[in-house]
Structure formats: C-alpha cells, structure tokens
Structure 1
Amino acid sequence: KLHAVGGVCVTASHNPAPWNALKLFNRTGEFIGPTEFRRFDRILTKGRFDLKSAATLGRISTQTGWIEEHIKLVLAAPGISRQAIRNRRFKVVVDAINGAGSSALPELLQRLGVEVIRINCAGDGKFVHEPEPIPTNLRQLGQAVKKHRADLGLACDPDADRLALVDENGRAIGEELTLAIAIMPVLRQKTGATVFNLSTSRVTADVARSLGSKVFLSKVGEANVVRMIRQKRAVIGGEGNGGVIYPACHAGRDSLVAAALVLTALCQRRLSLAQMVETLPVYHAIKTKAALTPRFAKQLQGFGLEAAKLLGRVKVNRQDGLRFDFERGWLQIRTSNTEPIYRLIVETDDKRLTQQLVRQVSGYFK
C-alpha cells in the first residue's frame, strides 16, 4: 500500500522470551525466499557496505491506524460470513500471550459481534506461559473457556500468525485442525487448488479433496508455501501449525484471517467446535526429533528400502527430506534448518501403528 521496497518484522515468533529476530519482506509484502536471502547473506558476510549520508537516506515517519486497516481488510475478504457470525452471537475467550494480537484479534471479533473475554492481552510482551500455541500451553485458556461457558477459545502466538483452538469443553483440539476447518468456507465458495506443507496432517488434505480441491504439497516454511500458492494459483493454503494463508486477503499467515474463517465454518455447518471436530477424519500423529549422527546422511540414502519393508507400497516425495505416503498414513524425515537434529513425523489411522513406526524408524537411525 505504501509502495515500499521491503519491510522488517521484529519477532522471534513462538520462541521463548530471551530470543528475538528479524523477518524480512520483499516489495510484494511476502517473506524473502532462499534466493533473496542468499544475496542478502552474501552482503552481510562480506561486511562491506556503501555508506550514505543522513541527508540521502530518506526520512523516518511513524504511522498509526494499521490495525484498523488490517481489520477492514479481513472483514472485506470473500468467504467470510459477517452477518452469520453476528447472528450466532459467539462468546469467545482470547489468549494473545500479551503479544502482537493482543488488541487486533479481540477488536476484529468485536466488529463481528462476538462477546470477547480477554486473557493475556495486555500487549506488553510478557509471556505468562510458553508462547507456542500447542495443547500443553493452553491449559489456562481451556480453564477460562469452561469458567465463562464460552463457545470456544482462540490462542495466537506472539506475532499472531498462528491460531490454535480450544472447544467449548475446554479441550485444545490441536493446532493441525485450525487449517482443516479454515479452508472449508473458502472452498465452499470457490473450488480451487490448495497448498499445504509436507508436514501438514492428512486430515487437511482429506477435507480439501472432499470439497473438490486439488492438493499440492510444498517444502516446509511460509515462503515456500506462498511461492507454490502463487505458482498453482491456489485459493487457500497454509501450514499445520495453525498458520492459515488466504491470498484473497494477503499472502501471509494470519491469525485474524484464520479466526474469521473458523467462525464462518461453524456458522455454515451450524455446529459447535467440538461437534465440528467429530465430523473430521481421525489420524494419530507423533512428532519427534533426535540428534544427527555422522552416519545419518548414509542411512537416509538407504532408508527407501527399509521404508518399503515397513510400509509396503509407498509414494516417495523428496522435496524436503523424505516423505513416504502409504495406504494408512505417511511419515516424513527431514533435517532441521536451525539445529543439528532431524525431525520425524509419523501419522496413521491407528495409534498403535503410529507408535510402532516411530520406534522402528527411530531405531533404524540410531
């Protein structure tokens, strides 16, 4: 909107309070991709900069009102049933962990006629619990939902790009289901392609396909998902960590967009959140990690044969580590971009099978 050449967001996302970082945007408002980052990194590594005088650098200006602008953008997005949400008269508890969503998310909900109960919405950056919006960190929200007899609870991470849900019984339903529910109203309004990363639960792909969508899987990372959304002209996409990307609004993960779409889905289906979860396919996933060993690269090369023994007929995807899809589920092994570890995700339709495969695969890489 300002025709800027780029942007910087100061955030460490869901990481603990001692950490901070910079997220870099290009002129289109999207996170810079690997190619752009390598160019940027080369400049930093060389340490030689063309210095400019203060007179030629431009000017610094402080602008306000951008939360209101963003709320207007979300409210105007196609597929969001504003009147239906108002008519439903939801009562919602919001836990913004005192982060960037502390005023924005409650204000959006109030504009939709929602009765909002705020916890941890001071906006002072003081985390009262671990900031990642996963079930183990949402106990306070669950208790508040039950105490206030709310319809549901919404939790975002510190920079408000991920959304997790707590049902009317105070149960955190798992961040994977946010995306599965959020895509429903978009695909009901307009059938089109969807893009999810390779670590996203199969339940989301199942929901998308049931609504006539062709599903594409990208490498992990928001920039990778956005790039494929552009390439495939997808109508919606995201990541299974609660990150919803709705390009009709903007090309980035957004908890406000996710919240509006989830409430729309509940209105369209005339269900509570717990009832909505009951309609979804059931899978059992385990996510684990382990330290890399000197033998890991060689072991990974030979794992294809081992996977065939364990899983039977498989479809292999090598975009991001190794992912094997088989009749009853899938598993993925990928190295971390930030730590000397590998991550293993196993998801199947049977809890015992998932546990068994985690033991077998972990044993192979010891």
Structure 2
Amino acid sequence: MKAFKAYDIRGEYGKDLNKEMVYRIGYFLPQVLPMKEILIGRDVRLSSDEMFEALSEGLRDAGVDVADAGLTTTPMVYWGTGKYGFDASIMITASHNPKNHNGLKVSAKNVLPVGYDNGLKKLESLVDSDTKVEKKDKGQIRKLNMKPDYLEFLNQYKKDYSGLKLAIDFSNGMASLFSKDLFGDQYVALNEKADGTFPGHEPNPLEPENQEQIKEAVKKHHADLGIIFDGDADRVMFIDEKGNFISPDLIIALFAHFFLKDTTKKEKVVHDIRTSKAVGEYLSKFNAETVIWRVGRAYGATKLREVDGIYGGELAGHYYFRDFYYSDSGLLASLIMLNITDDFKKQGKTVSQLIHEISSYANTGEVNFRIEEKQKAMDAVVSYFKKQETPTAYYDFDGYRLEFPDWWFNIRPSNTEPYLRFLAEAKSQKLLDEKTQQVFEILKSFTA
C-alpha cells in the first residue's frame, strides 16, 4: 500500500489514503500495539477532522478508549504520550507535504517511534487483508487539553528575549498555537494563522522557494535571527542575520553552547549519516562523543534513547532531546537557539559569525539522481573511490559514508522512490568539484 512509508503512513488524501482505510488502520492497530487508551492529536489540514472521526471510530470498535487532544503540534503528542503514560499515540498530519496530503505518525508506549520495521509492516498486512471487522464493546472517547501543561514545560527553556529582533514564519502550521505564548509580541510574524490551505507557501522549510519570505523579512527588519517551522512543528530551520539559510546539521554543533558548556561529563550526541564532518570536530571541543546513525525519527530517536545521548539532530531539521522523551520538537529547538543567540549577542557575536566558526567546508548539499538500480550504482561509486584511497572511516548503513583526509561523501537510497541521494564535503571548493564530477560520471550510466 503506497501510503505506508519507512517512518509513518502518509499520502494524498482520497487517493493513497481514505476514510475506509483509516478506519481499518484504527481497528487493526491494537493487534500490533497492545493498548487500552490511545492519545490522538491532529493538524489543521482540511481532511484531518474526517480522518480523526474514521480513526477513532475504528479504534473504539476494537474496544480502545480514545483521548482526543484536538489541534496539536506533533511534538505535543509525543510529550503527552510520555507525560501521561499513554499506551500509544497517533498524530494526524502530513507534516511538510502539500495541502492535499495527510497521514499518521504512530508512537508506542514510552514514546517509542513505530516505523515500517517495527509495526507498520504488520499493520499494512492486516489493513490490506480480507479480515473482516468484528466490533467489540465500544471504547470511550474523552477530550484532553494538554496545552497548559505543555506550555509549562516549554516555559522552562524560555528566557527574556527583549534584546533580540526576530522574524518568525509559522508556515500557517501548528507552531502558531504557541506563537504569542512563547514569543510574545517581540517578532515580525509571517503566515502566523493556522490554515490547512497553507496560503503563504507549502509548509516545507527545506525548499528554497519557501524560505524567500523569511529571508526577506530578516533583511528588511534587521533581525538577529529568522525562524521557520514546518506544518506540524516537529522541524525548525534558521536564517542568520544576513538572510542566509543555515544548514540544519550545523545547528547540532551550535546546541553544544546550551547543553554542554557547563558540564565536564562526556555526553553523547547523535546525528545522521549526512551530517557535516565539522559537527563532530566542533563537538569534540566540548568533550562530546558523536554517534552517527540512520536518517529518520524512527531511527534517530531510537538511537538517542539506546545510547542515552543528551541530544541529537538531522540534516532535515529534526532535533531530538533526552529531556523530551528522546523525541524531536521544533518549538523546543527554537527556544534553545534563541538562548544561544541572545547569549552571544551580549558578547558582540552574530549568528553568522558563530556558524562560520563551526564550518568552512565546501558542501554540495543533497543531490538526487533518478536511478532504478540503486544498489549497483552505490556499489560502483564506493568501489571506485576505495581503489583510489583507503578511507579513514567507512559506514555501510543507510547507504554508505566514506571519509578521507580532505573530503567525504554519503550516498544513500530513497526508501520510497527510485532516487539515489548524494552529498559530499571537502576542504576546498576545487577538491569538491573534482570529486563530485567523478561521482557524476560514474552515475551517468545508471540514470534513467
């Protein structure tokens, strides 16, 4: 079934997902995850209410009680799952996808991510089977307002930001639920009203065209920092005071100034396989051990928990925190970033200066190649460079990452599409151009 992905269930509503399928997902989920009561939140997409009705009906027909949290951010559902001890939770959202899409993010007890490898595959099989629904004693449904408690939690990280000029793009998404509570009136607001038609721009802050408004606002209003959230507020990205987009992996390094500056304990920080080598080099100054792992919340959050890391992050703008049930939160990450920005402004340092101190590597960014024979193409690239020089580090999960003294690359397959994703970094632009040209030549024979 097309909607079942590696990390969640997601697709075009009415095509890849419909209310009958969502009902069956609700009905069969208790056969995958044992539960008596489940927490459900939803975003503001136009199909979210219908999906909630179908999902909760299926769950209740399976004898499960439902706690209806109403409109929430995805991280708010994660937090509520852990805080109130729910057996499981579901967030109805398509995150950063277009407005006609929707989906389901599933978590088990203790906020454990449920992906295709640990539950969704079995659920897909049940939903797609001929197994008929046999209704049990109907579960109850109750309203649950988590906002006051959640806000109290977030306020622990909030400080006086009156010395900062801010521009914030809420992408007409769920971060707007907390706009005034967390940021007061001390910011230039863009696309602040939650609106499932996303009139400002698509709620994907990684796409350059969706960054144009916030970049312009930062420059126009001489802001110290620009913040842009995705649709369900589990991701956040930042713009420096010059209006430049900051590569989200570099923020992982910057967070050391919040989490690691006053500790002598050797903490672990998790990052994905695409993360700049500069991040590990910078974190070593804080006595931190970096752990490289696979892309995606189902893997990143699980690995952070496994190694008991203090925090972690991804190139896609997810940031995970030990004190947030090892889960990701865009709002929490933004508060931490504001703390750091404010501290350094008082010392006369700008965000762009901080980022420059972290990395001077030349970077390709992630490049996509349409290739059907993904494994053969990856093996050809890896074989070519291993013959040229012995790698100083080699990782063979989530594709491959090969590191050499002056450059490194990651090549990995898309989980859902016929694409190879390639990223490289080098100590000079000339070396980067030379190496990437060699990669592109190898991949030419595999491109569709």
* TM-score, normalization by structure 2: 0.73
Aligned equivalent of 2:99, options 17, 38, 44: 17
Provide Cα deviations, 1:294-328, integer angstroms capped at 9, x if missing partner: 4x433433443311245553421111111101112
Deviation at 1:105, TM superposition (A): 4.4
Q: Quick check: 1:283 aligned with 2:361?
A: yes
SS at structure 2 position matched to 1:215: strand
2:111 equivalent in structure 1: 29
Deviation at 1:95, TM superposition (A): 0.2
SS at structure 2 position matched to 1:72: helix
- 2:380–2:442: 8 Å Cα contact kept in structure 1? no
1:42 equivalent in structure 2: 125
Q: Quick check: 1:75 aligned with 2:149?
A: no
Structure 1 portions without partners, runs of 5+: none
Deviation at 1:151, TM superposition (A): 1.8
2:429 equivalent in structure 1: 351
Q: Quick check: 1:101 aligned with 2:183?
A: no
Provide Cα deviations, 1:318-365, integer angstroms capped at 9, x if missing partner: 111111011123211111111111111112222232233222112212
Structure 2 portions without partners, runs of 5+: 1-82
CA distance in 1, matches of 2:129, 2:392: 45
Q: Quick check: 1:232 aligned with 2:334?
A: no
Q: CA RMSD in A?
A: 2.2
CA distance in 2, matches of 1:178, 1:290: 27
Deviation at 1:217, TM superposition (A): 0.7
Deviation at 1:106, TM superposition (A): 4.5
CA distance in 1, matches of 2:406, 2:202: 34
Aligned equivalent of 1:217, options 289, 292, 316: 292
Letter in 1 for 2:119: E
Q: Quick check: 1:123 aligned with 2:201?
A: no
CA distance in 1, matches of 2:247, 2:382: 30
1:187 equivalent in structure 2: 260
SS at structure 2 position matched to 1:196: strand
CA distance in 1, matches of 2:130, 2:280: 45
Letter in 1 for 2:367: T
Q: Quick check: 1:274 aligned with 2:352?
A: yes
Q: Quick check: 1:203 aligned with 2:278?
A: yes
SS at structure 2 position matched to 1:248: helix
Relative distance call for 1:136 and 1:280 in structure 2 (3 A) is: farther
Aligned equivalent of 2:233, options 160, 178, 189: 160
Deviation at 1:119, TM superposition (A): 0.9
CA distance in 2, matches of 1:87, 1:14: 28
Length, aligned pairs only? 353
Could you tell me the percent identity over the aligned residues? 25
Provide Cα deviations, 1:253-297, integer angstroms capped at 9, x if missing partner: 211111111122223433321222232222222211112244x43
Q: Quick check: 1:92 aligned with 2:171?
A: no
SS at structure 1 position matched to 2:151: helix
- 2:110–2:325: 8 Å Cα contact kept in structure 1? no
Which stretch has the larger CA shift, 169-178 or 278-287?
A: 169-178
Letter in 2 for 1:204: V
CA distance in 2, matches of 1:329, 1:106: 44
Provide Cα deviations, 1:64-97, integer angstroms capped at 9, x if missing partner: 3x23322322233xxx4x4xx4166222111011
1:59 equivalent in structure 2: 140
Letter in 1 for 2:188: I
* TM-score, normalization by structure 1: 0.89
Provide Cα deviations, 1:212-236, integer angstroms capped at 9, x if missing partner: 1111111111111111111111111
Aligned equivalent of 1:8, options 90, 100, 104: 90
Deviation at 1:144, TM superposition (A): 1.4
Letter in 1 for 2:406: R
Deviation at 1:172, TM superposition (A): 2.2
Provide Cα deviations, 1:91-140, integer angstroms capped at 9, x if missing partner: 21110110011132452233xxx712211010112322232213442121
Which stretch has the larger CA shift, 279-288 or 336-345?
A: 279-288
Letter in 2 for 1:337: N
CA distance in 2, matches of 1:16, 1:206: 37
CA distance in 2, matches of 1:44, 1:124: 31
- 1:89–1:115: 8 Å Cα contact kept in structure 2? no
1:170 equivalent in structure 2: 243
CA distance in 2, matches of 1:311, 1:17: 47
CA distance in 2, matches of 1:103, 1:163: 15
